[in-house]
Amino acid sequence: MRIINNNGKSCYEGVLGDQVVGVVVYKRIGGRVVIRHTVIEPEFRGKGLGAQLVRTVLDDLRERGDKLTNYCGFVADFIADNPEYQSIVDADRPGVTASRDMRGPNGVTPATYQ
């Protein structure tokens, strides 16, 4: 899968052949990137493409020196499973950092979007 940072659409696109099969939607605010959502097309789920896409996005943010504010559950789960990416999370505005099993009515309440 090729992964392209489409600045014009504020998303990273995962492309197989000529088809966009996944996206990570973001908003850039200064030196911080707010990840809003990750989508993999249904017929491509369960093949590791989401993890590949998110890993590439986080590697790119780290290489650029950006900090991350995350509001995507999939990305939160990925970071929980790959704690080496915790260092790029913005300590002042982390967003959702708890893994999926810790969120919900009795778990951690997600931060307000900033």
Start-to-end CA span in the chain (Å): 32
**The domain containing residue 31 runs over which residues?**
2-102
Q: Is residue 20 part of a domain?
A: yes
Cβ(96)–Cβ(103) below 8 Å: yes
Within 10 A of 112 (CB to CB), how many other CB atoms are there? 8
CATH classification at residue 23: 3.40.630.30
From CA 23, how far away is CA 87, in angstroms rounded?
Answer: 23
**Per-residue pLDDT tens digits for 76-85:** 999 989 999 9
Average pLDDT over every residue of 86-98: 87
Q: Is residue 111 part of a domain?
A: no
Q: Is residue 109 part of a domain?
A: no
**Per-residue pLDDT tens digits for 9-21:** 999 999 999 999 9
Q: Is residue 108 part of a domain?
A: no
Domains: count for the chain: 1
**Per-residue pLDDT tens digits for 27-81:** 999 889 999 999 999 999 999 999 999 999 999 999 999 999 999 999 999 998 9
Which tokens go with 84?
Answer: 């080496």
Q: Is residue 84 part of a domain?
A: yes
Tokens 């899968």 sit at which residue? 1
Any idea of the CA torsion for 73, 79, 80, 86, to the nearest 10 degrees?
Answer: -130
